Structure 1
Amino acid sequence: MRKFRFHAVASVLLTAALALAGCSGGGGETASPSGDAGKSPSGGQGGGEQQVTLSMHSWRVEDTEGYKKLIAAFEAKNPNIKIEFKPFKATEYNTILSTALQSDSGPDLLQLRPYAPGISLATAGYLEPLDNVPGIQNFPKNVTAASTGKDGKVYGMPLSLSTTQFYYNKKIFEENGLKEPKSWDELIATAKALKEKGIVPISFGAKEGWLLSLSNGVIAPASFGDGYVEKLLKGESDLKSPEYLKSVQRMQELIPYFPENYVGLDQNDMRTLFATEKAAMYINGSFELEGIRKLNPNLQLDFFPMPTDDGKQVITTWVDGSYAVNAKSKHKQEALKFLEFMATKEFAETFAKQFHSISAMPGVKTDDPLVDKMAELSQSSSVPYLMVIHFAQGNPTTKQVLENSLQGMYLGKLTPEQVVEEVQKSAATWFEPFKK
């Protein structure tokens, strides 16, 4: 019944039934996988083995060239296995993947959304458990928790950690005698000073809902204080609390420092505005670092963590995706072999350096000072991305309700009080601590 209910809900949520040409789990020459499913993939490199082509799907179109290099390193050691990397637009990926899996035409390898969305695919029986894949033990339990099913099995090989923060243009700050703000009042004062000079203080857009929950994920912890998240998870507080309401009020307080027509700006618009030095600050994730630099390699870039009301600084952190194996893949053993490669330090170091990202594997360093700074803060001053880690369930999810409600606030249709009322109402339908 659990699986049936998932199919029913997923079908309602799909905006269209998309047929995926060339997305078959077989994806190439026919070859029978060797060994038992779920056990350590071994297999040799002998020329007598038939060639297998694995399909690999992702939501990271911008990572295409980088993945080619990583895949080439694997194929050099495994000449009988070829991998076709096919990314989709991030906003369309969930629907495309769900449609494909329901019709048994999903890819062999799939990038898994972290926490509830990915775990729901495991619950529905779409994914192969990875507990026996060599190297999975290289990741801490709090990292593999992002793709651990209700049965206690791990279904995703972790890729990286993500952080969110305020990026800023060092040149603009220095030219205007500004320093990194150490409190909310200093942040507002900095934004005011920039606006008075005719500079857009914060590159921001409200067109895409996920950017709003992400921005709230950065701003909210500043008003939480010690122990708030624990109280929330125990049901001793809720999302209408003064602490959470304050985070939404602060998002409203920033409106005068956004670009004109910000409600119509999307991720690309925001990135371009900041990278072309037309805005001084930019709220976004560590995954944006490479994209910013591609647009402007000469940008004098830095970031600051969110200053809190009690004089500290925090950086919002979460496990940002993993790779899973389709339980119905015709080439399961070969797919598991690729995930075994992903669990090596060689892959972790190459991935981190290639994409300027924080590795999910502890102890991996890069040659990028900003990435290493993010990694260090994620160990010393991190707070959880509340909506992704704890409130990404419900129908629609509480995260989506927050996003829609914040869009309503920016359109002048909802007050901050109404936003948190809607968010709490959503969470109360499924979050057990709120049902006490």
Structure 2
Amino acid sequence: MKTKLLTALLLGSSVLGLAGTASAADVTLNIESWRGDDLAIWKDKLIPAFEAKNPGIKVVFAPSAPTEYDAALGAKLAAGSAGDLITCRPFDKSLELYKKGDLADLTKLSGMENFSSVAKSAWSTDDGSATFCVPMASVIHGFIYNKDAFDKLGLKVPQTRDEFFAALDKIKADGTYIPMAMGTKDLWEAATMGYQNIGPNYWKGEEGRLALIAGKQKLTDKDWVEPYAELVKWKPYLGDGFEAQTYPDSQNLFTLGRAAIYPAGSWEIGLFNTQAQFKMGAFPPPVGKAGDTCYISDHTDIGIGLNAKSKNADAAKTFLTWVASPEFAGIYANALPGFFSLNSAPVKMADPLAQEFVSWREKCKPTIRSTYQVLSRGTPNLENETWVESANVINGTDTPEVAAGKLQKGLDSWYKPAK
């Protein structure tokens, strides 16, 4: 009896040992994110593609509600229960996590060479010496237009500012359509789809943005005031009551076919494709004159990093290297048209409107929104103040010069550029 019992115990321990060996070979990585709308894409497309090439590594995508993400993630990191992979918001939120030791340094991760300094800027230290998240996607600014309306009115896609305003004049004179759908009630529209959309052509993209951070340029300089002067000229084309028009109002005016042009971010593509019953096209911010270098706001939106305390760091780095690959870029960008890969390898978009936006990278120089890195860390917050002043300029309650003066004074009150 004792022999049988001993044999059974030995057999049992052998089975347990084998099971332990099998489970040790399988690693499960958990991804923290605020993007619940991506859940199906991760489950049905991205994770299966990775797991097929990496047997033994399982991936679980577990998003939190967007409004709860920062607090929930902070609590999990403090408790040591956060996932192995952390979806990264752009700029200061993620930089803070890196400085606290919550995000690992990924500067030397295989695949990081696939991204430009502009692409990595949202997840790098101020001096650019360390990068702590793999860039996943950006959004591009420009103008979406109603092709049917343009065909009906015999309009060509404008390339210069003179052509742009000539088209707006023709649309207004015809009277069938509101020339341009944008309101100022929600404030951010005026800054994001207005000032930050057209501004890079004036301040020369990264050249001006970095000069502003360095203190070599000011918001009262000509290149920063002139975009406001152009926004003043938008006012007659925005339709009656634009001051009380919300962001959803603007979307509806365009998708219902009542407006001909929509100052846009590429994130609108998915929604507009489902709602608009007409053909759409897009064009980049018009330049001053034919032959001028064009600049686009190709704004970094989302990245993914490594929990510095992950017990599965090697497997997580394998996953992050795959995120940095052209394969991931192609799947992600086509699954979410309007959220474009930041990978230097070009991605062919199946959606024609998304392909039009991303094609501008081949002829225009990319930059990011001027207020997002460094300059909105203090009080008053330059990003939020730019919302207010962009709306004020369009509404006519501040001149471009007064608006610029207020913004620079607010910035000077707390920001001292490094010497």
Alignment partner of 2:364 out of 373, 377, 381: 381
Check conservation: 2:114, 2:345, Cα contact below 8 A.
Answer: no
Alignment partner of 2:172 out of 192, 195, 207: 195
Check conservation: 2:329, 2:341, Cα contact below 8 A.
Answer: yes
CA distance in 2, matches of 1:84, 1:396: 37
One-letter amino acid of the structure 2 residue matched with residue 122 of structure 1: Y
Shift of 1:424: 0.9
One-letter amino acid of the structure 1 residue matched with residue 284 of structure 2: P
**1:130 — aligned with what?**
106
Is 1:84 the counterpart of 2:61? The answer is yes
Shift of 1:402: 0.8
Is 1:348 the counterpart of 2:329? The answer is yes
Check conservation: 1:101, 1:126, Cα contact below 8 A.
Answer: no
**2:123 — aligned with what?**
147
Check conservation: 1:109, 1:335, Cα contact below 8 A.
Answer: yes
What is the aligned-residue RMSD (CA, Å)? 3.4
Deviates more, 1:327-336 or 1:139-148: 327-336
**1:66 — aligned with what?**
41
Is 1:317 the counterpart of 2:298? The answer is yes
Check conservation: 2:29, 2:316, Cα contact below 8 A.
Answer: no
Distance 1:352 1:48, change over 3 A: same
CA distance in 2, matches of 1:94, 1:185: 45
Alignment partner of 2:307 out of 314, 326, 336: 326
- Describe the SS at the equivalent of 2:371: helix
CA distance in 1, matches of 2:180, 2:41: 30
CA distance in 2, matches of 1:431, 1:98: 29
Distance 1:268 1:61, change over 3 A: farther
Alignment partner of 1:306 out of 270, 282, 285: 285
One-letter amino acid of the structure 2 residue matched with residue 365 of structure 1: V
CA distance in 1, matches of 2:405, 2:132: 35
CA distance in 1, matches of 2:358, 2:98: 29
TM-score w.r.t. the length of structure 1 is 0.76
**1:246 — aligned with what?**
226
One-letter amino acid of the structure 2 residue matched with residue 425 of structure 1: K
Check conservation: 2:31, 2:83, Cα contact below 8 A.
Answer: yes
Check conservation: 1:117, 1:392, Cα contact below 8 A.
Answer: no
**1:423 — aligned with what?**
407
CA distance in 2, matches of 1:95, 1:419: 32
Structure 2: runs of 5+ lacking an equivalent? 1-20
Deviates more, 1:69-78 or 1:339-348: 69-78
1:350-365 matches, within 5 Å, as: 350-356=331-337, 357-365=339-347
Alignment partner of 1:401 out of 385, 388, 411: 385
Check conservation: 2:282, 2:356, Cα contact below 8 A.
Answer: no
- Describe the SS at the equivalent of 1:303: strand
Distance 1:343 1:430, change over 3 A: same
Shift of 1:70: 1.4
Distance 1:67 1:285, change over 3 A: farther
Distance 1:397 1:98, change over 3 A: farther
One-letter amino acid of the structure 2 residue matched with residue 366 of structure 1: K
Shift of 1:390: 6.1
Check conservation: 1:217, 1:387, Cα contact below 8 A.
Answer: no
One-letter amino acid of the structure 1 residue matched with residue 347 of structure 2: K
CA distance in 2, matches of 1:117, 1:422: 26
Distance 1:111 1:400, change over 3 A: farther
Check conservation: 2:39, 2:61, Cα contact below 8 A.
Answer: no
1:100-249 matches, within 5 Å, as: 100=75, 104=79, 108-150=84-126, 152-196=129-173, 197-215=175-193, 216-224=195-203, 232=212, 235-249=215-229
Check conservation: 1:402, 1:422, Cα contact below 8 A.
Answer: no
Question: What are the Cα deviations for residues 237-276 of structure 1, in whole angstroms up to 9, with x where unaligned?
Answer: 3101233222123223212322444345444443333223
CA distance in 1, matches of 2:241, 2:219: 29
TM-score w.r.t. the length of structure 2 is 0.78
Structure 1: runs of 5+ lacking an equivalent? 1-44
CA distance in 1, matches of 2:118, 2:319: 23
Larger Rg: 2
CA distance in 2, matches of 1:404, 1:185: 27
Deviates more, 1:402-411 or 1:199-208: 402-411
